[in-house]
Amino acid sequence: MKEYLIVSGRDINILYPHVNVWGFGIPLYLFIGGLAAGILIFATLFYLMGKDKEFPVTVKIATIVPPLIIALGLLFLIGDLRHKPFFWQLLTHFRLQSPMNWGAWTLTIVFILSLLWPLSFIDDMIEYFQQHNRKKWANAFIWIKNLIEKVRIFKVIVDWFTKNRKAFAIITLIFSIILGIYTGILLSTMNARPLWNTPILGLLFLTSGISTATVTIMWITDNEIERRLFTKIDFYTIILEMYLIFQLFFNLAQGPEIQVKTAQLFFGGEFTAIFWALFVMLGLVVPWILEILELKGFHVPVAVPAFLILYGGLVFRYIMVYAGEISSFLPSPTILH
């Protein structure tokens, strides 16, 4: 007869040695949340600064993206649940001690605000698309406007939101920042994973989300002044992101042995190549150099650095989720004979 002394819980079947309990939908969900939050942060901030006429793509046009991708992110989130038909129960309860519940409520509130924000500028958006010969987009928003006019409750809500847009801009800005930070906080609340167990993660995910939003606006706009401004913003955002990454590894290296071993996943371990080559080099350094060249007057197709930053943001979240699941404070199980 064998006697088992379980000191880590690693004898639980279906969990160990395969600890990847989250599918690829979760990194996608975190990426989408950060991107949507970043776009809304810029839209509301520039509106409050009175820049809505000067930078129409930032304040109005780019905000078409957040409600579309948040809806997609919610589908990824629901698809990862064990009991999918009961997802709605996350919104019928509010538990202060549940990070997932906080996230569900935050994402829902931001989704509603992200729907109303572009609708409050619907006349301006129709005019913009007509002036830029985007007939399909113009016709789509004309159809949406007619639908709002026909359904009284929609018209009342949109008119009320438009009338109080400044107040809602402040609310949307606050909740967008919360959403951007939450995508990292969701992981950092799980104290059993040393890679995630750091307050830096929330700020790092927010910074990465802002960077992806910056290049999205750069990619969409045809205004040279607007594009150049956001190239400068992303230039400094990448510097901040690289500093936070350095700080993350520095803190791990100065911690106890298990945190040092966690850092080794990225310095000779299984995530070394994918992190430093595919994320840091291709997703940060190369687009950063391209942005320097662009600011110096060289012609660089905007799609190239924009795509690399978006690609890097997704790879970064993929790495952080899966490397974090592998990292653990717990030792291997001990078996007594």
Per residue in 89-119, pLDDT (tens digit) is 666 666 666 666 677 778 888 999 999 999 9
What 3-state DSSP class applies to 223?
coil
Q: Are strands 3-5 and 334-336 parallel, antiparallel or unpaired?
A: antiparallel
User: Residue 80: what pLDDT?
Assistant: 60
User: Residue 14: what pLDDT?
Assistant: 46
d(CA 201, CA 199): 5
Total number of domains constituting the chain: 1
Q: What range does the domain containing 302 cover? A: 3-13+20-336
Ramachandran region of residue 297, left (φ > 0), alpha (ψ -120 to 50) or beta? left
What's the count of helices (H) and strands (E) in the chain, helices before strands? 14, 2
Q: pTM for this structure?
A: 0.87
Q: Radius of gyration over alpha carbons of the chain, in Å?
A: 22
Question: Which one-letter DSSP state was computed for residue 298?
Answer: -
Is the pLDDT at 171 greater than 90, yes or no? yes
Of 125, 162, 154, 164, nearest in space to 141 by CA: 125
Span 241-251, mean pLDDT?
93
Q: Sign of dihedral through CA atoms 75, 76, 81, 83?
A: positive
pLDDT band at 199 (very low <50, low <70, confident <90, very high): confident
d(CA 36, CA 29): 11
Tokens of 58: 């930032």
CATH number at residue 297: 1.20.1630.10
pLDDT, tens digit (0-9, with 9 covering 90-100), for 29-59: 889 999 999 999 999 999 999 998 899 999 9
Tokens of 168: 């809602």
